[in-house]
Amino acid sequence: MTSLIDRYDLILLDIDGVLVLGQQPIPGAAETVAAVRTKGVPLRFTTNSPRRRPGEAAEMLNKAGIKATADEVVTPTGIAAATLAQRLPPGAAVLVVGSDALRDEVAAVGLKPVNSADDRPQAVVQGFAPTIDWPSLAEAALTLQRPETLWLATNLDETWPSERGPVPGNGAFIAALTAATGREPDLSVGKPEPTLFHQQARAHNAQHPLVVGDRLDTDIEGGRRAGFDTLLVLTGVTTPGMLANSDVHPTYIGESITHLLAEPAALTDAVRR
């Protein structure tokens, strides 16, 4: 039987809301990933979440029963650090609001991660981590009072899907700083920016990648900007009501990632019945 994945030469899978909710596997995710591997179609886990290193994300997926390796996980932290390195002099201080994974990437490109506005950082880089607290937001607000400070976000997702429902994501913490400073980030490098998708397509010499995600404003809009087909799944933050009111239209709509194995004709009607 023909399934959706037979049409594509690279599958770019979001993690949160597609494969897992929190750390709990979404029903059918493990079997679907295994089936994609059996078919020999390459896949990459393209997450907007900067809170884990690729190895940590792969470990979380493996614990949830979903086979993954570190080199298959793509996060926006590397692109964020590379972008900072292009814009700042070597050794420049950068205030990191986020995870140790993000801090490591900043150090790896020859910049100096710092925690205080008193260190005169030339940039603020902000990516979600569950450990972000008021003192780190306060240091960022004080740093951003200097108008020449560059403010770079890994991503703008307002929420991420936990086991118990949507909870504040990077965009929510950015909104707190916007309220406090009157500024908005100068740029964001994660989805819907197409950089990460284009990098992966080039690396795999793929002509017809498929982007799979649960968010219209990041995954699906990012796929559209990249020029790739998209599958929206309804296991994460997007509800049928949100979809009905959106200007962003996926190529396919499925109840879950298991629809990767469905016949293509069955997909677009999934929520329009």
Catalytically active residues are 14, 16
Q: Tell me: does residue 139 bind Mg ion (CB under 5 A).
A: no
Binding mask 157-196 toward Mg ion (x if CB under 5 A, else -) reads: ----------------------------------------
Nearer to Mg ion, 40 or 241 (CB): 241
Short-list 219, 261, 228, CA closest to 4: 261
Supply φ then ψ for residue 71, to 5 degrees: -75, -5
Short-list 80, 26, 71, CA closest to 49: 80
Considering only residues 57 to 116 of the shown chain, the ones binding Mg ion according to CB under 5 A are: none
Report the length, in residues, of the chain.
Answer: 273
We find the least distance from the C-beta atom of residue 165 to Mg ion, in angstroms, to be: 14
Considering only residues 11 to 50 of the shown chain, the ones binding Mg ion according to CB under 5 A are: 14, 16-17
Q: Tell me: does residue 221 bind Mg ion (CB under 5 A).
A: no
Asked if 169 contacts 113 with a C-beta cutoff of 8 angstroms, the reply is: no
Q: Is 166 helix (H, G, I), strand (E, B) or coil?
A: strand
We find the least distance from the C-beta atom of residue 110 to Mg ion, in angstroms, to be: 31
Nearer to Mg ion, 128 or 151 (CB): 128
We find the least distance from the C-beta atom of residue 213 to Mg ion, in angstroms, to be: 6
Supply φ then ψ for residue 171, to 5 degrees: -60, -30
CA end-to-end span of the chain, whole Å? 23
Which distant-in-sequence residues (6+ apart) come within 8 Å of 253 by Cβ? Answer: 231, 232, 234, 243, 267, 268, 270, 271, 272
Supply φ then ψ for residue 252, to 5 degrees: -130, 155
Q: Tell me: does residue 214 bind Mg ion (CB under 5 A).
A: yes
We find the least distance from the C-beta atom of residue 215 to Mg ion, in angstroms, to be: 5
Binding segment (CB under 5 A) for Mg ion, from list 8-16, 128-136, 162-170, 247-255:
8-16
We find the least distance from the C-beta atom of residue 124 to Mg ion, in angstroms, to be: 24
Considering only residues 229 to 258 of the shown chain, the ones binding Mg ion according to CB under 5 A are: 236
Which distant-in-sequence residues (6+ apart) come within 8 Å of 49 by Cβ? Answer: 15, 16, 57, 75, 128, 155, 157, 160
Nearer to Mg ion, 193 or 214 (CB): 214
Binding segment (CB under 5 A) for Mg ion, from list 29-37, 101-109, 172-180, 210-218:
210-218
Rule CB under 5 A: which residues touch Mg ion? 14, 16-17, 214, 236
